[in-house]
Amino acid sequence: MCTLCVSLCLVPALVLLSSSRYRVSLTALCRRVLHRLLKLARRKVCVRSTHSFVFSNCTHGKPDSVLETFDLYAETHPSLSLCPQEGEVLDEVVRRVAPLCVLELGTHCGYSSIRILRLLPPGGRLLTVEQDAQSAELAEELILVAGFKHTQFQILTQSSAEAIPALSSHLGPDARLDLILMDHDPQQYLLDLLLLQRLGLLSPAGCVLLVCSPQDPRSLFPLLEHLRAPACPVRARAPGLLELNCHSDRHDGREGS
């Protein structure tokens, strides 16, 4: 009798699953759940394993092949890379802003760096900051494998707090940052944003993208409180991505100094 009841209870589910439409929905749901579980395991990422897989399976000299191989790896392994949806948002922002100077905080394995570099206008340059020396070394190799040259990017192996005050020496005294991607320690986001503004490093139309980890949303509370100011409009671009349009304190006031 118990078996019969269980069987009857499962009939609606079996009917739904027999429909190809619902099979597709179920597959998509499972993929989203798997991706979320893998995101929760970010701290257990093996950077060397990611590098080895991408290096061995991508087509060298082809940025899109390198990115596709990253995505393939992330389907079954914990990954620090943006998910494809977040990557598409990043692509859209780079195309819209057409930045000449980009700062990335948190290089990780080089995935976002490659996404950005392949869409930069002629003469565009990326500065990317990674505190972990091994990650920086392996990311640099994959960026080179994708076909980019050192004249197009530079990796600074130091913390954001150390790198930001020295940016002018890498960019030039009058250069401004058109786009900033923050994907390092969320507890540093507000401090680094305030420092960038105070040093006048953001261009008047500068755009900031924040990668938001679902593991510790409380770390973003101080930043979100600061962003209530109308001078810094914010909007969600993807489940884990916020876009800010904040201007530096100096604006274009250098001409009056």
Residue type, 139: A
Flag whether 34 is in a domain: no
Confidence (pLDDT) at 98:
96
Q: Which two tokens stand for residue 202?
A: 């953001």
Per residue in 139-164, is it b (16+ CB within 10 Å) or e — as a string? bbebbebbbbeeeebebbbebbeebb
In a domain, 31, yes or no: no
- Angle at which helices 63-74 and 47-57 cross, to 10°: 130
**Of how many residues is the chain composed?**
257
Distances (CA, A) of 162 to 130, 183, 195: 11, 16, 11
What SS3 class is residue 237? strand
pLDDT of 213 reads 66
Task: With respect to residue 73, please indicate whether it lies within any of the assigned structural domains.
Answer: no
Residue 173 lies in a domain: yes
Which structural domain range is residue 131 located in?
Answer: 81-245
Within a 10 A sphere around the Cβ of 116, how many other Cβ atoms? 22
Confidence at residue 173, expressed as pLDDT on a 0 to 100 scale: 79
250 lies in a domain? no
Q: With contact defined as beta carbons under 8 Å apart, do 76 and 31 qualify?
A: no
Alpha helix segments (H runs only) across the chain: 2-18, 20-40, 47-57, 63-74, 84-97, 111-117, 133-145, 160-163, 167-171, 189-198, 221-226
CB contact burial 211-240 (16+ within 10 A = b; e otherwise): bbbeeeeebbeebeeebeeeebebeebbeb
User: Which domain CATH number covers 154?
Assistant: 3.40.50.150
Alpha-carbon gap, residue 195 to 164, rounded angstroms: 8
CA atoms within 13 A on the CB side of 160: 22
Task: Give pLDDT, residue 247.
Answer: 56
The position carrying tokens 């810094």 is 232
Question: Would you call 171 helix, strand, or coil by DSSP?
Answer: helix
- Give me the pLDDT at residue 241, please: 86
For residue 180, the model assigns a pLDDT of 97
pLDDT at 22: 43
Residue 40 lies inside a defined structural domain of this protein: no
* pLDDT beneath 70: ranges in the chain: 1-45, 213-220, 228-232, 246-257
Query: Which amino acid appears at position 226 of this protein?
Result: H
pTM confidence score: 0.77
Task: Examine residue 37 and state whether it is found in any structural domain, yes or no.
Answer: no
Return d(Cα 100, Cα 244) in angstroms, integer: 18
pLDDT value of position 240: 79
Predicted pLDDT of residue 196: 94
Q: How many domains does the chain have?
A: 1
**pLDDT value at residue 14:** 40
Within a domain: 20: no
